[in-house]
Amino acid sequence: MVLRSVLTAFAALWLGTLQAQEPIRIGSFLAVTGPAAFLGDPEQKTLELYVEKLNSAGGVLGRKLQLFAYDSAGDAEKARTFAKRLIEQDKVDVIVGGSTTGETMAVVPLAEQAGVPFISLAGAVVIIEPVKKWVFKTPHTDRMACDKIFVDMKARGVSRVGLISGAGGFDKSMRAECLKVSKNHGVEVVADESYGPADTDMTPQLTKIRQNPQVQAVLNAGFGQGPAIVTKNFKQIGMIVPLYQSHGVASKEFIKLAGEAAEGVRLPAAALLVSDKLADSDPQKIVVARYRSEYEARFKSDVSTFGGHAYDGLMLAVEAMKKAGSADKARVRDALENVKGYIGTGGIVNMSATDHMGLDLSAFRMLEIRKGDWTLVK
Partner 1 sequence: MLARLASPRTGGLAALALVVLLLPLALRNNYYYEVAILVGLNAIVCVGLNLLIGYAGQISLGHAGFFGLGAYASAILTARYGWPPLAAMAAATGGVAVLAYLIGRPILVLRGHYLAMATLGMGIIISIVIANEDRLTGGPDGMAVPPLSLLGYRLAGERLWYWVVGALLVFAVWLAQNLVESPHGRALRALHTSEIGAEVAGIDSARHKVRVFVISAVYAAFAGSLTAHYAGFITPTKVTFFHSIELVTMVVFGGMASTFGAVVGAAVLTTLPQALTLFEEYEMVVFGAVMMLTMIFMPKGLVPTIAARFPNRRANE
Partner 2 sequence: MSAQFLQFFLAGLTIGAIYALVALGFSIIYNASHVINFAQGEFVMIGGMTTVSLTAIGWPLPFAIAAAVLAAAAIGLALEKFAVEPARGASVVTLIIITIGASILLRGLATLVWDKKFHALKPFSGDAPIGIGGATVLPQSLWVLGMTLVIVLLLTWFFGRTLLGKALLATSHNRLAAQLVGINVRTVLLAAFGLSAALGAIAGILVAPITFTAWDIGVMLGLKGFAAAILGGLGSGPGAVLGGLVLGLLEAMGAGYLSSAYKDVIAFVIILAVLVFRPSGLLGTRSTDRV
Which residues contribute to the site for partner 2 (CB under 8 A)?
32-33, 35, 37-38, 41, 167, 193-198, 200-201, 203-205, 207-208, 211, 224-225, 228-229, 232, 235-238, 253, 256-257, 259-260
Map residue 3 onto helix, strand or coil.
Answer: helix
In the complex, minimum distance from the CB of residue 99 to partner 2, in angstroms, rounded to a whole number: 12
Helix 101-114, helix 169-181: angle, nearest 10: 90
What is the C-alpha separation between 317 and 337, in angstroms, rounded? 11
Map residue 221 onto helix, strand or coil.
Answer: strand
Instruction: Report whether the peptide linkage leading into residue 130 is cis, meaning its omega lies within 30 degrees of zero.
Output: yes
Cα distances (angstroms) measured from residue 43 to each of 71, 96, 124, 219: 11, 10, 17, 27
What is the C-alpha separation between 368 and 229, in angstroms, rounded? 18
Per CB under 8 A, 320 contacts partner 1 = no
Q: Using CB under 8 A, which of the segments 9-17, 99-107, 246-254, 266-274 binds partner 1?
A: 99-107
User: Using CB atoms within 10 A of its CB, is residue 211 exposed (0-12), middle (13-18) or buried (19+)?
Assistant: exposed
Minimum CB distance to partner 1 smaller for 74 or for 313? 74
Q: Which of 87, 125, 320, 339 binds partner 1 (CB under 8 A)?
A: 87
Quick one: what does residue 59 bind among partner 1, partner 2, none, with the CB cut-off 5 to 8 Å set by partner type? none
In the complex, minimum distance from the CB of residue 282 to partner 1, in angstroms, rounded to a whole number: 34
Quick one: what does residue 22 bind among partner 1, partner 2, none, with the CB cut-off 5 to 8 Å set by partner type? none
Map residue 24 onto helix, strand or coil.
Answer: strand
Tell which positions 54-73 bind partner 1, by CB under 8 A. 70-71
Per CB under 8 A, 52 contacts partner 1 = no
Quick one: what does residue 205 bind among partner 2, partner 1, none, with the CB cut-off 5 to 8 Å set by partner type? partner 2
Per CB under 8 A, 142 contacts partner 1 = no
Cα distances (angstroms) measured from residue 370 to each of 41, 247, 375: 27, 17, 7
Query: Which residues make up the interface to partner 1 (CB under 8 A)?
Result: 33, 70-71, 74-78, 80-81, 84-85, 87-89, 100-102, 105-106, 109, 124, 126, 167-169, 172-173, 176, 196
